Amino acid sequence: MNIKDIEEGKEDKLLDAALLQAQKKYGIAKTQKIIGSLYLECMTKLKQANERNEAL
């Protein structure tokens, strides 16, 4: 995937397809729980990285 693909919205289509596939495999509730867990983990790592940068 390149910048042109992202600008044309191809990334969104891939994300939508992945979400639908996960919902079919795990159900909507479990898919939302998985996404929530991943989001929380990413935000925690981002906060830690920001704190390290501020300490420098």
Residue 10 has a pLDDT of 73
Express each pLDDT in 4-42 by its tens digit: 665 667 777 888 888 999 999 999 999 999 999 999 999
Q: Report the amino acid identity of residue 38.
A: L
SS3 assignment, position 1: coil
Q: Check residue 27 and give its pLDDT.
A: 95
Distance CA 52, CA 49 (A): 5
Percent of the chain exceeding pLDDT 90 equals: 61
Choose among 47, 41, 19: nearest CA to 31.
19
The answer to whether the beta carbons of residues 26 and 34 sit under 8 Å apart is: yes
